[in-house]
Structure 1
Amino acid sequence: MSKAPHNKEMSHDAPSTGPDSAKPGLDSLAPADDSHQPLAKPTSPGKQPTAPGSLKAPNTHNAKIDALETFRKGSENFPLTTNQGTRIADDQNALRAGTRGPTLLEDFILREKITHFDHERIPERIVHARGSAAHGYFQPYRDMSDITKADFLRFPEQLTPVFVRFSTVQGSAGSADTVRDIRGWATKFYTQEGVFDLVGNNTPVFFIQDAHKFPDFVHAVKPEPHNDIPQGQSAHDTFWDYVSLQPETLHNVIWAMSDRGIPRSYRTMEGFGIHTFRFINAEDQATFVRFHWKPVAGKASLLWDEAQKLAGRDPDFHRRDLWEAIEAGDFPEYELGVQLIPEEDEFKFDFDLLDATKLIPEELVPVELIGKMVLNRNPDNFFAETEQVAFHPGHIVPGIDFTNDPLLQGRLFSYTDTQISRLGGPNFHEIPINRPLCPYHNFQRQGMHRIDIDTNPANYEPNSINDNWPRETPPSPHRGGFKSYQERIEGHKVRERSPSFGEYYSQPRLFWNSQTPVEQQHIIAAFSFELSKVARAYIRERVVDHLVHIDVSLANSVAENLGITLSDEKMHTAPPKDVNGLKKDASLSLYAIPNGTVKGRQVALLVSDGAVAADVLAILQELGAHGVHARLLAAHMGQIHADDGSTLPIDGTFSSLPSLTFDAVIVPDGNIDSLLLSGDARYFLLEAYKHLKVIALSGDARRFKAQFALSDHEREEGIIEDSKAEGVLMSEFLSAMAAHRIWSRSQKAQSVPA
């Protein structure tokens, strides 16, 4: 298929609408040929996306920075003024009648300052209140016009600016990052045909099938109404009561109880569009599609003990990781994948494509990677961008359309209504972070916080006083007006769900069977912990009864931990049928398929006065060569003196930067006696050992093996040791760290008291 040339510099003159222009009248309905201005040229290079093969991106940074340039402003060398521009001579004192007299009402500077402060908080998002975001760009790998006429998926050389927000679901804006929860993943594509919002989660399924139940589900998962407890957790009666009465929730619940519920970082987390959408090509042919985000850094999670401790030691752990990675130039990268299902195959599965509680196994429909997203700029202002950004699954562009997924259909209403309430009115699209990059014209006027100043004398259509501008754009293969897919619909008006939505246990069982043994143990522990917090015994029992229908061994293990005895009948419950004959799918596991790189990982070096400078230098050089970040930790801040008399600057102390915040630990040779006498240093290593992290011991540091109940001659996977840091030690260390955790240590680590 030949591809038409794409001239990114092309632009068109806007039609003349002045008093001397021709008057075509109401019957002239040709579309306005709006200018699609090219993105401003970049001022600094950024990391480039790479695709399979020889694709190379243009030398550009995130183009979104230029799109917001009109609205970005610093304050260097500018005088302090009021919002109206009046210069302020004294910002330290209110206007008073005498130095000890009453404050005067005429102090307009005070009134403006206090009034603005009083109204600085906007309503929190009902869900996804706590979030972090970043700017970036997306670039397709190939021309997708055989499947969709969406412009941003047609040209491999075209970069589309994006803004991505990651979030937790249940907690408030002040809750911790590392709670067990689903993570939201919303991507705003600023395409040349309008904004496309891909609004999803880090799980491919949702808790409910019909949006009509969304308020009930959210009410149940939120803190309980009588005491507003617990915050940022699902370990309470109302949530599990709802789950026990709504078995359709079980699939997403088991995902949340897996390691997916406590991701290591936003950089190592998958994302999913959840719903089945349609791609529409220029010939109006439709293809069902589900969207996936695959992290280039690989998939990884926290351990539960880590997640709990981080909630107290560093509640901003995920937010900080994302911010610091971008500042360091370790730009998070994700590949956009799609599962494509021809319309004629809609009913080939034993589950319904329109059911948002069901996924399409990748073993049945492989994911095609169609492009890469790079996040390369942090927001300038958290409130103006991260807090005010408004996502909406109903923001689509030509070439993408909806299906009759009942959860999606309800979300199309809910999001608009929510943004109007949260952002103060119907003009939330005019906030800079929400504005499309392409021109937009319509007859909507007024409303709270109107920013655009419309000069069109007509605010209605059809009209003749402005030559009927702006006009409709007829559908066309490319850059035409939006046309809904013409799907034939027949049926009675009913409040019923399709019988094809009625099976709830097969897909949770597929997920369970696809996990590694370690991941299965984590799921058992998660259910046991969460349900142990439920006060009402009958709710715990009902949940276990549902688990029996997923897998008897899972249910029995959880039951034993909760003091519940399963009857003989339940112990012999027949399993549900396989999903389209599929028993396992390795893609559902975080660790069944090795993936990812060590680039961007964080490694702690524990040092003290007398550290061997050559060892430290060799470690730093080798880590730096692989893009791994090292921090020197000691018992005190400032600097230490190495064995050769040189000084080494210290990044943090053993207690201020705990092992929880690092991926691995190295102890260089030199003055190990001092470290062995430090309780904080020993605790640091024991905690890292407990959390299955790679530990390297160089030279005399091998004496630390006794802390792990290892003799001098005993070797253990994940404890890398050698007489010096150069060569074998660092090579083995980097190789072991690529696996993320030393899973073989899991059983032994349970005895560590850290």
Structure 2
Amino acid sequence: MSDQNPTGPLTTESGAPVADNQNSQSAGAGGPVLIQDQLLIEKLAHFNRERIPERIVHARGAAAYGTFRVTADVTPYTRAKFLSEIGKETEVFLRFSTVAGNLGSADAVRDPRGFALKFYTEEGNYDLVGNNTPVFFIKDAIKFPDFIHTQKRDPYTGSQEADNVWDFWGLSPESTHQVTWLFGDRGIPATYRHMNGYGSHTFQWTNEAGEAFWVKYHFKTDQGIKNLTAAEAAELAGKDPDSHQRDLREAIERGEYPSWTVQVQIMPVAEAATYRFNPFDLTKVWPHADYPPIEIGKLELNRNPENIFAEVEQSIFSPHHFVPGIGPSPDKMLQGRLFAYGDAHRYRVGINADHLPVNRPHATEARTYGRDGYAYDGRHGRAKNYEPNSFGGPAQTNRPLWEPIAVTGYTGDHEAPSHAEDNDFVQAGNLYRLLSDEERDRLIDNLAGSLAQVSREDIVDRAIENFRKADEDYGKRLQAAVQALRG
């Protein structure tokens, strides 16, 4: 084998030079293969282990690096250092994804899109894990496994079943708002570049004086909104399953760096209790007339990952990765995700997943007393592994990252508090009435095409009734469209 590699010869994982990478060792020219062949055993064993478990949700994705630049003074609201001055830039890593499909599924499908953003700040990594919709199907994390099971393959048929999907949605009327989003024009973005992103949840910002505010994040695409019709998506998914991943990568390679204008809605903490909607309900938005979005920055993606497995597949995002000045809210979906995301990564990538280059802090250094476990690299050397200690190890700051939240009442299985205008249908109806006639036509066609696949009339009737409660015309038109398709 000629040495054409300027960095040296091909080696085994342990660094020994490889004499022959084309032929395995055998007992004579025609004999059986020898177990002593280190290279053969090493290559096959490594190949068998090349894949880590794919994500249960958001398995299918693409990502890129970029920068976030502050464009407005938000120091009256938060003490987060990466937001401390106009013009300040922070390195970011943004992963887009579909939700329900597996790793080998197509990009151009009707599904929410994940919008997971990692800020490599000087105070540690801040992960903002959202979607391309401002709301979600459910408001309590205890329902999440059941919801996802309806979107995944049926345990008997091995396929996604319309009966399961619509049975759950019909029995969970809180999903009516998000389902209206999903089956509308924005349910199938043309590319990752041509869609908005949202933090979706409500978060807490805290300023230097200790004043707290509730915030929602919006990332408005500077490329403009572009979507696919159901027919266009079906054709594209068949021709190019990797359409969205390819588009993102090639746009950055061409120097056409996608960007988003970053906005926040800000609610004083004192206004939350009497706001007309529960501000921590993930199935609801804050109408812009109540809390106008304020521009705070620009997000640009300008560098592709060098290795998809190392940087995209092994990347981890968790809503519990906060920095000083930013924290959680009582949103019950967010509270559940604070545990579930980190736990998923500990299972899928390993207890030391935070040590990988894409996941570790880039603008500071992690200083912990966690040691050992799978893939531990020994980075702590001989340093002590306990705290407190008198050997100069890292110590606590005695300053919480966010302000405490007042709580009252008894422990128990409580529904989220209901506010003056809270119900499961009002905002879905508002969204329907905002659509143009042509947008409503497409929404009805998309919903009817899906509902017509359901085998039981009671499931269909229950689902249609939810849309009727949102808007009488909405339900009436949908019922007629489903009946026409079902004959």
Which band: TM-score by shorter chain? over 0.9
1:385 is matched with 311
2:359 is matched with 434
1:454–1:446 CA distance, 2 compared to 1 (3 A)? same
1:522 aligned residue (442, 458, 469): 442
- 1:562 paired to 2:482: yes
Q: Cα RMSD over matched residues?
A: 1.5
1:558–1:344 CA distance, 2 compared to 1 (3 A)? same
- 1:249 paired to 2:169: no
CA drift of 1:355 comes to 0.7
Question: SS at the partner of 1:160?
Answer: strand
- 1:472 paired to 2:396: yes
Question: SS at the partner of 1:133?
Answer: strand
Matches of 2:261 and 2:382, distance apart in 1: 43
1:398–1:390 CA distance, 2 compared to 1 (3 A)? same
- 1:125 paired to 2:55: yes
Using the TM superposition, name which of 221-230 and 256-265 deviates more: 221-230
Matches of 1:381 and 1:375, distance apart in 2: 17
Question: SS at the partner of 1:267?
Answer: coil
Question: SS at the partner of 1:433?
Answer: coil
| Aligned residue type for 1:533 | Q
1:104-133 alpha-carbon deviations (Å, 9 max, x no partner): 111111111111000011111000110011
CA drift of 1:145 comes to 1.3
1:544 is matched with 464
1:533-559 alpha-carbon deviations (Å, 9 max, x no partner): 212222111111111101121211111
1:83–1:272 CA distance, 2 compared to 1 (3 A)? same
2:207 is matched with 281
If asked which structure has higher relative contact order (CA below 8 Å, sep 6+), I would say: 2
1:464-510 alpha-carbon deviations (Å, 9 max, x no partner): 2x13x1122243xxxxxx43412221110110113417610001011
Matches of 1:252 and 1:388, distance apart in 2: 29
2:265 aligned residue (324, 332, 339): 339
2:99 is matched with 169
Matches of 2:365 and 2:374, distance apart in 1: 21
Using the TM superposition, name which of 534-543 and 210-219 deviates more: 534-543
Question: SS at the partner of 2:193?
Answer: helix
CA drift of 1:452 comes to 4.0
2:283 is matched with 357
CA drift of 1:80 comes to 1.1
Matches within 5 A, 1:305-316: 305-316=231-242
Contact 1:541 1:564 in 2 (8 A): no
1:520-575 alpha-carbon deviations (Å, 9 max, x no partner): 1111111111111212222111111111101121211111122189xxxxxxxxxx
- 1:146 paired to 2:76: yes
Query: Matched residue pairs, number?
Result: 478
Contact 2:220 2:260 in 1 (8 A): yes
1:320 is matched with 246
1:437-468 alpha-carbon deviations (Å, 9 max, x no partner): 2111111100111124212442111112x13x
2:141 is matched with 211
1:111 aligned residue (33, 41, 45): 41
2:338 aligned residue (392, 398, 412): 412
| Aligned residue type for 2:415 | R
- 1:491 paired to 2:416: no
Matches of 1:138 and 1:393, distance apart in 2: 18
Matches within 5 A, 1:628-667: none
CA drift of 1:193 comes to 0.4
1:97 is matched with 27
1:532 is matched with 452
CA drift of 1:373 comes to 0.8
| Aligned residue type for 1:472 | Q
Same amino acid, percent of matched pairs = 42
Matches of 1:403 and 1:461, distance apart in 2: 29
Question: SS at the partner of 1:282?
Answer: coil
- 1:224 paired to 2:154: yes
Contact 2:204 2:402 in 1 (8 A): no
1:306-329 alpha-carbon deviations (Å, 9 max, x no partner): 011111111111111111111111
1:259-285 alpha-carbon deviations (Å, 9 max, x no partner): 111111111101111111010000110
| Aligned residue type for 1:429 | D
Contact 2:174 2:283 in 1 (8 A): yes
Contact 2:93 2:118 in 1 (8 A): yes
| Aligned residue type for 2:125 | V
Contact 1:94 1:103 in 2 (8 A): yes
Matches of 1:459 and 1:77, distance apart in 2: 38
Question: SS at the partner of 2:175?
Answer: helix
Question: SS at the partner of 2:62?
Answer: strand
1:298 is matched with 224
Contact 1:430 1:452 in 2 (8 A): no
1:448 is matched with 374
CA drift of 1:78 comes to 3.4
CA drift of 1:392 comes to 0.4
1:38-89 alpha-carbon deviations (Å, 9 max, x no partner): xxxxxxxxxxxxxxxxxxxxxxxxxxxxxxxxxxxxx764321111111111
| Aligned residue type for 1:522 | R
Question: SS at the partner of 2:91?
Answer: strand
TM-score (norm: length of structure 1): 0.62
1:699 is matched with none
Contact 2:72 2:295 in 1 (8 A): no
Matches of 2:230 and 2:381, distance apart in 1: 58
1:589-615 alpha-carbon deviations (Å, 9 max, x no partner): xxxxxxxxxxxxxxxxxxxxxxxxxxx
Matches of 1:543 and 1:452, distance apart in 2: 55
Matches of 2:109 and 2:250, distance apart in 1: 21
| Aligned residue type for 2:45 | T
Matches of 2:193 and 2:445, distance apart in 1: 25
Matches of 1:266 and 1:409, distance apart in 2: 27
1:143-165 alpha-carbon deviations (Å, 9 max, x no partner): 32111000111122322111111
Matches of 1:451 and 1:77, distance apart in 2: 24
| Aligned residue type for 2:13 | N
Contact 2:372 2:378 in 1 (8 A): no
Matches of 2:221 and 2:206, distance apart in 1: 27
1:270–1:228 CA distance, 2 compared to 1 (3 A)? same
Contact 2:113 2:131 in 1 (8 A): yes
Question: SS at the partner of 2:358?
Answer: helix
Question: SS at the partner of 1:266?
Answer: coil
1:76–1:228 CA distance, 2 compared to 1 (3 A)? farther
Question: SS at the partner of 1:375?
Answer: strand
| Aligned residue type for 1:329 | G
| Aligned residue type for 2:434 | S
1:79–1:156 CA distance, 2 compared to 1 (3 A)? farther
TM-score (norm: length of structure 2): 0.95
CA drift of 1:213 comes to 0.7
Question: SS at the partner of 1:542?
Answer: helix
Question: SS at the partner of 1:432?
Answer: coil
Structure number with bigger Rg = 1
Question: SS at the partner of 1:528?
Answer: helix
Gaps in structure 2 of 5+ consecutive residues:
none
| Aligned residue type for 1:428 | A
Gaps in structure 1 of 5+ consecutive residues:
1-74, 476-481, 566-754
